[in-house]
A and B are shown apart, each in its own frame.
Chain A
């Protein structure tokens, strides 16, 4: 059904591992990509139809927990390898095949999942988009008003899952200059920040 079809399908892994890859995908869809309606029952029927419900629940919980640890720490490849190796050595841990599947999944989804987690802690309005145009007065009773360009800017501000607010503003050339100056200040501030961390 829908969930399984939307998984990113990497080149065919060893046969026994396909359902695990898809399971991780399903977990990610629900936990990080905000897809509703992905129930445990749905996943079990689609991916592990022969498994008993309790058995599947345990599997899902274990995989979900591993993924959460990896995502929360935003593990790089070294950390990931160390972590997964430790998991294979644990009592009731994972097999090395499973470790390989998890590693491959994380490599493919790391950036997207991180972005999604960062968005989850943005609770105010966020600048989503901006559109603009520049108008020029071509006719005016007062000759000094000609040649004064005016920029009309529309900013889309929104929160997660809510309808956006559109802010329409006007800028004359002086204001655009001021704005650009301030934006450059911000840019400088950020570069010096990232250089010292």
Chain B
């Protein structure tokens, strides 16, 4: 969601600062701005914005939803972006903290300090501490490794080279396109290819074995 990323402002504010709430000594500017603006937002709109924010946290694309909200309220897309940006930062920071040490009462207190309306505090709280806690696909992916998105291959046979008049040597060329946008191209000699194939088959077997083993464990 491009809008959210770009409108994150940097700066600090006086109110609530120095307290060391879950947002840290300096409350991010966009959260401050959101806290002020949200008082004029009606409950229904707020809930729709919250839904968009949660989707954004889960890595889903939200451009359409934001447009829809803009069309049905008197808020401009820019104002919406500010609101969502602040809600996003607030929730993201809260979700990072482990539930074992971060308690609901503390969270609510911090939000009260920002003078966010009670109703909205309850809604925020249910996101962080309730069953609707976002799976955070976005953050999870950032710490994961890239995966293969596309795999192209070609078998070449070298007929003759400057060093070997009669080569007749097959070789496999692979092109891997990864989920992080990079592409890697490399050659695999036949012997290495067999090793690769063997290893991949072994990985699959391991995965199957592991699954069987843990299913049995849970059923105990």
Which A residues fall within an 8 A CB radius of B?
Answer: 71-74, 114, 117-118, 120-122, 124-128, 130, 132, 134, 136, 138, 141-142, 146-147, 149, 151-153, 157, 167-173, 175-180, 182-184, 186-187, 189-190, 193-194, 197
Contact = CB atoms under 8 A, between A and B. Distances in A.
Contacts of B211: 136, 147, 149
B142 interface: no
B24 interface: no
Contacts of A146: 214, 218
A132 B153 contact: no
Contact of B151 (A127, A167, A179): A179
A182 B161 contact: no
A124 B185 contact: yes
B161 A117 contact: yes
A9 to B, nearest CB: 27
Chain B interface main SS type:
mixed
Contacts of B151: 178-179, 182
B112 to A, nearest CB: 27
B155 A193 contact: yes
Contact of A176 (B146, B157, B203): B203
B101 to A, nearest CB: 16
Contact of A168 (B145, B158, B218): B145
A170 B146 contact: yes
Contact of A74 (B144, B166, B185): B166
A120 B161 CA distance: 9
Given A121-B164, A171-B148, A176-B200, 6 more contacts: A125-B184, A138-B214, A142-B135, A146-B214, A153-B203, A182-B153
A176 B146 CA distance: 14
Contacts of B192: 126-128
A193 B207 contact: no
B218 A126 contact: no
B97 interface: no
Interface in B143-202: 144-148, 151, 153, 155, 157-158, 161-174, 176, 178, 184-190, 192-193, 195-197, 199-201
A16 B139 CA distance: 74
Contact of B204 (A72, A141, A153, A180): A180
A186 B193 contact: yes
B68 interface: no
A182 to B, nearest CB: 6
A169 B164 CA distance: 36
Nearest to B207: A149
